[in-house]
Amino acid sequence: MPEQLIRHGHLEADPWQRVDPAADAASSTLPDGPILLPASFWLAHRDTLRQRVGTIGVSLAPTFRVEDLVPDLRLLPLIAVEFPKFTDGRGYSTARLLRERYNYSGELRAVGDIGRDQLFFLRRAGFDAFLIPESRDANDALLGLADYPGAYQAAVGQRLPHFRRRFG
């Protein structure tokens, strides 16, 4: 089975095409349609790429400092955060910062080595889309979203921690 996209709680077709041009490639040679580019490429070519805003999303490596992208967030309908290994948890902090501190409201997609056992946490960190790799069953992964009946902490989608709701 190819990669499958879970968005807003169900499987959807993925209109985004991933493009990985060499850092010095000219932005004029990029394909048409919605494309997902490395954030570093966006930063290097942002002045020309701005002409096609709306069809460009960026992808963040685990080491990418999300602070560097803050001035451009309004221009980006999709930000993908890469998880080369599911045990590399930096992307969770990236997601919360994007949502909670920088009020990013576009699609926030987790990409890479993710599956059923991560989805509950990823969603609370602020991801609303998950690209499930070929090796995993996306229908099974969907079930992970319901792993726990609630949570103690405040997080994205749950502004108040449990202790502030306990007395409500």
Partner 1 sequence: MYHYDDFDRKMIAARVKVFRNQTERFLAGKLGEDEFRPLRLKNGLYIQRHGPMLRIAIPYGQLSSQQMRTLASITRDFDRGVGHFTTRQNLQLNWVKLPEAPDILERLASVDMHAIQTSGNCIRNITTDPFAGVAADEIADPRPWAEILRQWSTFHPEFEYLPRKFKVAFNGAREDRAVLHAYDLAFQLVTNEAGELGFTVYAGGGLGRTPLLAQKIRDFLPWPHLLTYSEAVVRVYNRYGRRDNVWKARIKILVKALGGAEFARQVEEEWAHLKDGPQTLTAEEVARVSAYFAPPPYERLENEDLSAVKVDNPAFARWLSRNVKPHRVAGYAVVVLTLKQAGCAPGDATTEQMEAAAQFADRFSFGEIRTMHEQNLVLADVPQRELFSLWQEARRAGLANATHGLLTDMIVCPGGDFCSLANAKSIPIAKAIQERFDELDYLFDIGDLALNISGCMNSCGHHHLGNIGILGVDKHGEEWYQITLGGTQGNATRYGEVIGRSFAAAEVPEVVERLIATYLALRHEGETFNETLARLGLEPFRATAYAKDPVNAAAADQELIDA
Interface contacts to partner 1, rule CB under 8 A = 62, 86-90, 92-93, 96, 101, 115, 117-118, 121, 124-125, 147-156, 159-164, 166-167
Min dist. Cβ of residue 153 to partner 1 (A): 6
Helix, strand, coil % over all residues of the chain, rounded to 5:
35, 20, 40
Write down the residue that tokens 């992808």 correspond to.
59
Q: Which is nearer to partner 1, 46 or 90 (CB)?
A: 90
Q: Which of 54/149 has CB closer to partner 1?
A: 149
Classify strands 35-38 and 17-18 as parallel, antiparallel or unpaired: parallel
To the nearest whole angstrom, how small is the minimum distance from the Cβ of residue 38 to partner 1? 19
- For partner 1, which is the closer residue by CB, 58 or 155? 155
CB-nearer residue toward partner 1: 35 or 69: 69
Residue 18: how many other CB atoms lie within 10 Å? 15
Beta-carbon contacts of residue 134 (< 8 Å; ≥ 6 apart): 1, 2, 3
